[in-house]
Structure 1
Amino acid sequence: MSTVEFGLDTFGDVTVDADGAPLTHGQVLRNLVEQGVLADKVGLDFIGVGEHHREDFAVSAPEVVLAAIAGRTERIRLGSAVTVLSSDDPVRVYQRFATLDGVSQGRAEVILGRGSFTESFPLFGLDLRDYEQLFEEKLELFAELLKQEPVTWSGATRSSLTAQSVFPRVEHGSLRAWVGVGGSPESVIRTAKYGLPLMLAIIGGAPERFAPFVDLYHRALEKYGQPVQPIGMHSPGHIAETDEQALEELWPHYSAMQARIGRERGWAPMTYDRFVEETGPSGALFAGSPESVATKIAAAVRALGVNRFDLKYSNGTMPHEQLMTSIELYGTQVVPRVRELLAE
């Protein structure tokens, strides 16, 4: 097994204090910076910060938060999870992450996606009917920007560019840019077409279900004449000293989050039995003791052959202190144990 990276993802969920009262957005952001500092301290490879435009998430500008983390860390790579490219301008996204790369001495990444929420479309005056076209065209332009050469491009979703240079330039090589995919074959093929790394969002069911997408991605890269690229996976979870403690801490926050989003999307409420099933060997919820989570991560990495595993450690209103404990256990106990298991 080649070297595997281990990262964290957070959406900057609004959390609660010891009395169960929601924190302000500002306090959540400050706590998130502390979480990033701890992730660097315990040796993790990456932290990704999501972009949302709604009350229950504090982060609408991931690059600003990542820059704050960059100023207090030395090694950890810094990226989005994801940047909603469909409702942003590719040139400005590239410039912001190229700037982050400069101030962090080459540690910036961007994970591009269409996003799982749609609030940014009306907020920025976009029509959801253009959902597919917006992402396709903007990803095409972003792929051109990554070459760091004058860009000539035209499309229907923004003004054309003619031999336009874009600054700042990344100092060493190219900005690392992934595409986040939720399980659409068309999205996997599109990612391969542009020769970009693939990040699989596995948030329900057995991770092994995604093996056909991994195979499809490899075949599509070959078809388009693109070089081999990394594949990552992103899944939710929580780590505590014991399995029982992890599930006890996670359930009220995770179930409330699922119920809140489910009401918007027409999902059935999650039952406790379903929750326990997802935390088991065949589920996508990586929650439990360090040994349990490490065993499950190692199995998923082997099954899919991924090059990076990102644990989405933020889960609804779960308090900052529990998130910090989860991060520390992930970095100091889970990751070393996964490396041992993979070496075997």
Structure 2
Amino acid sequence: MALLRRKFTPLMGLEVDGPAMDTPAMGTLVERIRTDLSAFSDPVTRTANQLRSLFRKRARKPLVLDLPGKTLVFSSPAEFEFGLASRIEFPVRKAARLVERDSEDLKGMAIKLRAVEKRFAAVFARCLEQPYRIGELLGGLESGLLSQDHDWRDIVQALCEHGPEYDDFKNIALVKYMQYLASRQAVLRSIYLEKVQGGLELQPQVAEEHPVEEPMLASVLPISYKETALFDLDQGGGGGGGAGGSDDEDEGTQTLQPVPRGEAICIRFTDGRELDIKLASHRYKLFPGKHFCLVDEASGVTHLLRSGRNVIGRHSGNEVVIDPAYLAISRKHVIIEPVSENAALLTDISSHGTFITPKHV
């Protein structure tokens, strides 16, 4: 065996003279080293990018909204959400004026308002699919669709002037405004029902004596827009999406309550028992387990839910497609996302509301 010759040089130190490595082997070694370095550096790079994004959000300047005559400043999304929480109720002074309107006027207002709700529900559904477009979609809505109550129109328009770094604020504003619309529809429904069922119909007033300060949100929309379940008068009530309850109580079960529009809530199943759920005026049962399923109480049709997010409604592109004849159910009505065998996230994105028993929340 030939002995390896060793030599020492001042620059290189101890060297070993031996058989030279062939070129293909050297290339394989270099490629392996490059792969190892890439496998190490990619997670580091992703983590660094995530940290930079988090730092930018934390370093973001407070949201400043310049409104006519005043300036609102919010240091965080949570503070902004808290500030909007008091703006979702329909003003009492306007509700008092509505009592003086006749039932036909109220019905016309409700038809237009329902159309507005549908517009915002469609925007919200699109934002769930493409969150980065919320600024574009919210800013593209006609100003006539935004009420002047509680400075809503000024707030949304000022918010849309801010860049994408404030998209989380825009999402909060969209959700809260949808809840305001639901509150307004609930007031209309309550007054209308009192008039037609309680005999409180008043003599029509002269229009000049009671001018309306603003159009009922959607003068840009035609009065010919029809809803088959307006006020849900013939459907057992509860379609307002914002009323205190569904006015629908079965023997041995609790009254169904509306789900807050646009907000994800966690529903829990006790001992694996099913949940009573109503989409607009149509009753279903939601069964938990390894594979969740939604059962139509009227027809017995069973819809199997997939793992992950399930958009439910009449649209043919949904994960769960409801009977198109159920016109009270929105094209994209509710999102159900199972998170375990006994829990799921539920988000109402409809215009007629989703109702469940409170004990499951």
TM-score range, shorter chain: under 0.3
Greater relative contact order (Cα 8 A, min sep 6): structure 1 or 2? 1
Q: Give the TM-score taking structure 1 as reference length.
A: 0.27
Q: Give the TM-score taking structure 2 as reference length.
A: 0.26
Structure 1 or 2: more helix by fraction? 1
